[in-house]
Amino acid sequence: MGRLHTEEYTAPATQALTNEECVICMEQFRIAESFTRLPCDPRHVFHTDCISTWLSRSDRCPMCKAEITKSSLVDMIAIRS
Ligand SMILES: [Zn+2]
Ligand SMILES: [Zn+2]
């Protein structure tokens, strides 16, 4: 698996995101947690830990079943502005 590209997002940029929950663990996203965004849809975002566990068993998005290339994942960290 290649290195993941990590982007930092300030709170306003992740506002929509932090109102959502990770469908894998059903927990809401919080500032300062790390997330991974899948290439299939910008709103298909999961906790980095959750999606790595998921992708060790499956190579498809848990939401839309799109096939995921692990090198195309984008890591994000939500930070306070
Ligand atoms: Zn999760
Ligand atoms: Zn998806």
Question: Tens digits of per-residue pLDDT, 27-53?
Answer: 988 878 888 889 998 889 899 999 999
Contact 25, 35 (CB under 8 A): no
Q: Spell out which residues have Cβ within 5 A of ligand 1, the ion.
A: 22, 24-25, 47, 50
Contact 11, 80 (CB under 8 A): yes
Sheet holding 74-79, edge to edge: 5-10, 74-79, 34-37, 45-47
Residue ranges of the domains in the chain? Answer: 7-80
- Residue 56 belongs to what H/E stretch? helix 48-57
Predicted TM-score of the model (pTM)? 0.76
Second CATH level (architecture) for the domain 7-80: 2-Layer Sandwich (3.30)
Given a cut of 80, is residue 23 above it in pLDDT?
yes
- Residue 18 belongs to what H/E stretch? helix 15-18
| Best CA proximity match to 28, nearest among 45, 6, 40 | 45
> How far apart are the C-alpha atoms of 39 and 14, rounded to whole Å?
17
Question: Tens digits of per-residue pLDDT, 2-20?
Answer: 566 677 766 555 555 656 7
Ligand index nearest the alpha carbon of residue 36: 1
